[in-house]
Amino acid sequence: MNKLLIALGIWRAVLIIQGQELPFNFEVSRFNGEYHIELQNGPELIPVEGIRLNGDSLIMHLSVYDAEIRAEVKNKTMTGKLYNTSSSGWHEIPFTAAYGIRQRFITDSIPPTTPINGKWECYFQNEKDSSLAIGLFEQNGNKVNGTFLTSAGDYRFLEGVVAGDSLKLSAFDGAFIYLFLAKVKDGKLTGDFYSGNYYHSKWSGVKNDVIRLPDPYSISKLKPGVETLNFRFPDTDSNLVEFPSERFRDKVTIVQLAGSWCPNCIDESKYFDYFLKKNPDQPVAITALMFERTSDFSKAIVNIKRFKSYTGSDYPLLFAGDRKNLRQLLPEMDVMGGYPTTIILDKKGKIRKVHTGFNGPATGVYFVKQKEEFEKFVNELMAE
């Protein structure tokens, strides 16, 4: 029996990216002799599904993502690294953790000089391009929760502080590693965004209660003249699923272009599963085409099965191939604006709408509005 004991309760972890400290919290509990760990980002709790003890080391496989933390546990501290075992992206990031610290960002409780509650028009700029985002922040004292909403979806649950004139936000969900730093001065936010070991951009923002993003139905585009889809891909049991076919006949069909590496796809898949369970006898079918970071079927299927288990998706998830080859694998697509992209076809198999992105639970009213619009349109198609 392994003798390693891990202190139960809250821990404060730090990842070192690009010379910056990115903090996050996790909580350790124990049931029936087994350890359980949950990552925390604001109100979001993410279970770590794979936990192993090896001598004085803790190994945490990070849920649906192809990454794990390996750390030595000693005197209520942990020291180790976060490893990405996929074939691309970041590979190793230094990791430390200390027991009993609930504060995400250690500050001297300096009162904020400027409230940042509300909606901000933000721009992210690097040497290649500039992109628009909507900052949505809720402030309680010096604590801040929020997210950034973009045309491809949102940055999910961010948590942090505003102390004096400094805003600090972070998130770690197992794959995506986000750190936002900014100064608040004269009604303007200016700062830096770090993601993983390599990506960095400047960002700025001003309050704007009426800012809007581009129409999500205008971003991803089909080739001129395309009115339907034709595909044939294997599901997680290696059974080929094709469209059109009898299983989709006389049904409104939602085709989700997704990937197991995509957090916004997780949010959308959880919602789609809820929608199907709410409409069990309706003429509607959902199928996901999973575009992975590899063309290796055996490796991709492991990740897709993990994604399916984590989201509870009770609809076919098909391995479509390497995401770098999307246009060859799905030749009907002309412009792919981001993941997820959702193609909605009527009961005759005609494409009626193509929607890019998904506004997840972190976006609040945007999440509610998107669900309402989707259900209204699908209900109209089912009634045709």
**CATH classification of the domain holding 87:** 2.40.128.120
Please report, for the domain that includes residue 334, its CATH number. Answer: 3.40.30.10
Is residue 106 situated within a structural domain?
A: no
Domain match, 270 and 377 both: yes
Q: What is the mean pLDDT of the chain?
A: 92
Residue 153: domain span:
118-207
Residue 87 pLDDT exceeds 80: no
Domain match, 41 and 148 both: no
Q: Calculate mean pLDDT across residues 33-42.
A: 94
pLDDT for res 85: 67
The shares of helix, strand and coil residues in the chain, as percent rounded to the nearest 5, are 15, 45, 35
- pLDDT tens string 330-361: 999 999 999 999 999 999 999 999 999 999 99
Domain match, 172 and 228 both: no
Q: Any residues with CB less than 8 A from the CB of 302 and at least 6 apart, and which? A: none
pLDDT for res 90: 56
Domain match, 234 and 353 both: yes
Is residue 348 situated within a structural domain?
A: yes
- pLDDT tens string 140-199: 999 999 999 999 889 999 999 999 999 999 999 887 899 999 999 999 999 999 998 888
Phi-psi region of 26 (alpha: psi -120 to 50; beta: other; left: phi over 0): beta
Rounded distance between C-alpha atoms, residue 177 and residue 255, angstroms:
28
Is residue 183 situated within a structural domain?
A: yes
Q: Calculate mean pLDDT across residues 292-312.
A: 90
Rounded distance between C-alpha atoms, residue 124 and residue 146, angstroms:
17
Between helix 365-383 and helix 263-278 the angle, nearest 10°, is 50
CA-nearest of 259, 281, 344 to 89 is 259
Query: What is the value of pTM for the model shown?
Result: 0.90
Is residue 305 situated within a structural domain?
A: yes
- pLDDT tens string 226-273: 999 999 999 999 999 999 999 999 999 999 999 998 889 999 999 999
Q: What percent of the chain has pLDDT over 70?
A: 97
Of residues 61 and 290, the one with the higher pLDDT is 290
DSSP state of 223: P
Domain match, 361 and 285 both: yes
Of residues 261 and 71, the one with the higher pLDDT is 71
Domain match, 81 and 171 both: no
Is residue 105 situated within a structural domain?
A: no
Q: How many structural domains is the chain composed of?
A: 3
Is residue 362 situated within a structural domain?
A: yes
pLDDT grade for 1, boundaries at 50, 70 and 90: very low
Domain match, 265 and 359 both: yes
Rounded distance between C-alpha atoms, residue 331 and residue 328, angstroms:
5
- CA geometry: angle 273, 279, 284, nearest 5 deg: 80
